[in-house]
């Protein structure tokens, strides 16, 4: 993985987990969406983003998010290298198969 992409992915996870640690699930989800987009082609970071989204959903009492993340964790481990919908934020309220527009900064990092 390119160094700049790797650093951005690491920062997204650090910030997302820090937000979870201080009980700010909404901020955590924003960072985790970023981590998801950056790491969705890599099985372990992809699954990690979904696991942390599940935790954020639990913190919010958002059962749709919690239940929606369970199959996404398994799919991330099995299919990340085969096919992913680029730009998808990974949230349960977005189809797991829907590509989404990618922010120019993230597009540059994904190169």
pTM summary value: 0.95
Query: How much is the average pLDDT of 4-8?
Result: 96
Contact between 111 and 74 under an 8 Å Cβ cutoff? The reply is no
Query: How much is the average pLDDT of 2-23?
Result: 97
pLDDT of 69 higher than 80:
yes
Query: How much is the average pLDDT of 10-33?
Result: 98
Alpha-carbon 40 to chain mean position: 7
pLDDT grade, residue 75 (50/70/90)?
Answer: very high
pLDDT score of 56: 98
pLDDT of 1 higher than 80:
no
Q: How much is the mean pLDDT over the chain? A: 96
> Residues for the chain: how many in total?
111
**Domain span at 35:** 3-110
Copy the structure tokens of residue 86.
């680029």
- Tally of domains within the chain: 1
């Amino acid at each position: 993985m390119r160094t700049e992409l790797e650093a951005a992915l690491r920062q997204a996870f650090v910030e997302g987990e820090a937000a979870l640690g201080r009980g700010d699930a909404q901020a955590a989800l924003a960072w985790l969406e970023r981590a998801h987009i950056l790491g969705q082609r890599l099985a372990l970071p992809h699954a990690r983003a979904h696991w942390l989204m599940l935790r954020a959903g639990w913190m919010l009492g958002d059962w749709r998010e919690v239940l929606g993340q369970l199959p996404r964790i398994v799919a991330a481990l099995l299919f990340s290298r085969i096919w992913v919908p680029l730009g998808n934020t990974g949230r349960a309220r977005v189809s797991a198969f829907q590509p989404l527009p990618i922010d120019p900064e993230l597009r540059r990092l994904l190169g």
